Amino acid sequence: LHSERFVDCSPAAVWATLLDEGTYLASERTMYRLLAANGGVRERRDQLSHPPYARPELLAKRPNEVWSWDISKLKGPAKWTCFYLYVILDVFSRYAVGWTVQHRESAELAKALIAQATEQQAIEPSTLTVHADRGSSMTSKPVAFLLADLGVLKTHSRPYTSTDNPYSEAQFKTLKYRPGFPARFDSIEHARAFCREFFGWYNHQHRHSGIGLMTPATVHHGQAEQTRAARRAVLEAAYAATPERFLRRPPRPPALPTSAWINKPDSEEVAH
């Protein structure tokens, strides 16, 4: 196997060549076992080794502390055509702070959307982290320079790890599973009109299970405590009127969110 004749051949080729010459020394499996015992089983070519990527661990305890953003394709009127939906989501409140539908994926378009959202939300330097995957627009220099100028920290998901950006992925699923979501959009105007209606519903009417069945707008604009108190009053009145309907305990409204994690640490000590 280490001879000059066979040094560049696989055990299968060595076995077959010798067999054609009327010689049988060992099975192919035995050849592999002998090579392994002598450190001879490995990729012969040098392989590119990627640096280890750290798992992003982000904690949001209030609105406008952590945003996640992503781009999703919307099918166009014909095969192989599509439009690009850009969405920026507040991780704590799930509020869509910015969105746009465009003909192409572009770093400049992403830069403009992020700049507009930070201005509308009056983001102060060093108060916000923006998280995204490793798409070309997300890792582009225009976006990186903008975030640096705004004093915004940026983080990225690990390659091929969609669970590192769960809030954006879940929001896109909510969009595409909505009743009335078309198989294809007739035009970019059609796509924009649908998204305009969707995000109005999503921000102001959708009761989100991850934030105590509040609407994203209620949590984002600091009205959650007031809304929960009103819910509690309704439930207390219902309990006072007919306590026999509630067998175990008086009804309580869902708890309000106190934090939102991207990849919560396994250790409780670190998480707190």
* 89 and 4 together in one domain: no
Task: Give the mean pLDDT of 223-250.
Answer: 94
**Taking Cα atoms as reference points, which of 165, 174, 143, 150 lies closest to residue 91?**
165
* 202 and 129 together in one domain: yes
* 21 and 62 together in one domain: no
Q: Look at residues 211, 236, 257 and tell me which one is the last residue of a structural domain.
A: 211
Does a structural domain hold residue 47? no
* 8 and 103 together in one domain: no
Provide the domain count of the chain.
2
Does a structural domain hold residue 106? yes
* 67 and 183 together in one domain: yes
* 6 and 128 together in one domain: no
Question: What is the secondary structure of 185-252 as a DSSP string?
Answer: -SSHHHHHHHHHHHHHHHHHT--BGGGTTB-HHHHHTT-HHHHHHHHHHHHHHHHHH-GGG-SSS---
Residue 84 confidence (pLDDT): 97
d(CA 255, CA 4): 74
Confidence class of residue 268 from pLDDT cuts 50, 70 and 90? Answer: low
Residue 42 confidence (pLDDT): 74
Tokens of 161: 């790890």
* 175 and 91 together in one domain: yes
Does a structural domain hold residue 237? no
* 29 and 122 together in one domain: no
Lowest mean pLDDT among 78-92, 179-193, 243-257: 243-257
Does a structural domain hold residue 235? no
Confidence class of residue 160 from pLDDT cuts 50, 70 and 90? Answer: confident
Q: Is-above-0.85 flag for pTM?
A: no
Q: Is pLDDT at 129 greater than 90 in this prediction?
A: yes
Does a structural domain hold residue 112? yes
Q: Is pLDDT at 272 greater than 80 in this prediction?
A: no
| 100 CB neighbour count, 10 Å cutoff | 17
* 15 and 142 together in one domain: no
Q: Look at residues 159, 188, 211 and tell me which one is the last residue of a structural domain.
A: 211
CA distance readout (Å), 156 to 46, 68, 152, 205, 246? 28, 10, 13, 30, 47
Q: Is pLDDT at 269 greater than 60 in this prediction?
A: no
Structural domain including 74 reads 58-211
* 15 and 124 together in one domain: no
* 120 and 27 together in one domain: no
* 3 and 106 together in one domain: no
